[in-house]
Structure 1
């Protein structure tokens, strides 16, 4: 299937942000939420989108730490429901990157505890952060997720639309029939 290039996806991301930002501000009337949405949308469109399942421009933009996406790529088929699916793809990428950050944090904190000998209670930290998110930052979390999802949706939808358009523009091949030898 024919898909848009990475540059086409980037252009779509850049060109669709201004109208989406205006709509976000009209709906929320909050500059802070507009910034959360815009940052998440750009991040998703440029670095955190569905094409992290292949060697793509989004993947290359992770630079020296792009290796964190190797397991993701090996587990998912390109353009599968789990990478390009609406909502599902974004949720899977968020969970995946959360697990990677958590693994790194465990090692960093273990080393820091060994060196400086401070106490660290994972349960307290998790409960405190969950309560903080739930009670004070739920709106920011939701608008960030919406920005991430719309950035990914712009990618998946443009794949579908451009692929369909390019497919419809192809000239049908003339069939050549071979004569059977007698």
Structure 2
């Protein structure tokens, strides 16, 4: 398993090719967004936020927003390290905190926040794809660096399937 510095170094190195690849496939603006999303995903939205890690420390005084994630999500589980699932949960937690902030600031409602996000993603599909590619790509890099891109539950399912096949 890679250490925090190794994850950070790889994120910095791979964000450039991800951005260039996205720019070639979509456009240069989407390429910049993909590279930025990849960096943000690797440095601030790491699957390791459920542990005391560099990504958690980067949040500084806002570390408390990850307290529910750290208490409820087991490390290297499908919920923390699962492709798409882990990223989605971390983004949903951020949206939940944004919703709490909307409750404190009555001039912005949750509905307005949701509509703005929906409008942006439908008006700018290339950029929305670039954000998704960047965030999810950084998670895959993290999992590959850990040496096993599949969460622990996936291995248990495979063992059960092998045992079931032998009994037939």
1:27 aligns with 2:25: yes
Evaluate the alpha carbon distance shift between residue 128 and residue 6 of structure 1 in structure 2; reply closer, same or farther with a 3 A threshold.
Answer: closer
Q: Name structure 2 gaps, 5 residues minimum.
A: 150-168
1:89 aligns with 2:86: yes
Aligned length: 149
RCO greater where, 1 or 2, for CA within 8 Å and sep 6 or more?
1
Evaluate the alpha carbon distance shift between residue 12 and residue 126 of structure 1 in structure 2; reply closer, same or farther with a 3 A threshold.
Answer: closer
Runs of 4 or more consecutive aligned structure 1 residues displaced over 6 Å after TM superposition? none
Kept after mapping to 1: 8 A contact 2:18/2:31: no
1:148 aligns with 2:148: no
Q: Secondary structure at the match of 2:131?
A: helix
Q: Secondary structure at the match of 1:86?
A: coil
1:138 aligns with 2:125: yes
Residue 139 of structure 1 deviates from its aligned partner by: 2.4
Please give the alpha-carbon distance, in whole angstroms, between the structure 1 residues aligned to 2:114 and 2:78: 32
Q: Name structure 1 gaps, 5 residues minimum.
A: 114-119, 163-182
User: TM-score, normalising length from structure 2?
Assistant: 0.80
Please give the alpha-carbon distance, in whole angstroms, between the structure 2 residues aligned to 1:153 and 1:13: 11
Q: Deviations over 1:99-124 (max 9, x none)?
A: 11111121122xxx6xxxxxx7654x
Q: Secondary structure at the match of 2:147?
A: helix
Aligned counterpart in structure 1 of residue 69 of structure 2, from 49, 69, 72? 72
Evaluate the alpha carbon distance shift between residue 131 and residue 160 of structure 1 in structure 2; reply closer, same or farther with a 3 A threshold.
Answer: closer
**What RMSD over aligned residues (CA atoms) do the two structures have, in Å?**
2.1
Q: Deviations over 1:5-37 (max 9, x none)?
A: 100001111121222222111111x12101111
In structure 1, the residue matched to 2:95 is 98
Structure with larger Rg: 1
In structure 2, the residue matched to 1:55 is 52
Residue 137 of structure 1 deviates from its aligned partner by: 2.2
Residue 128 of structure 1 deviates from its aligned partner by: 4.3
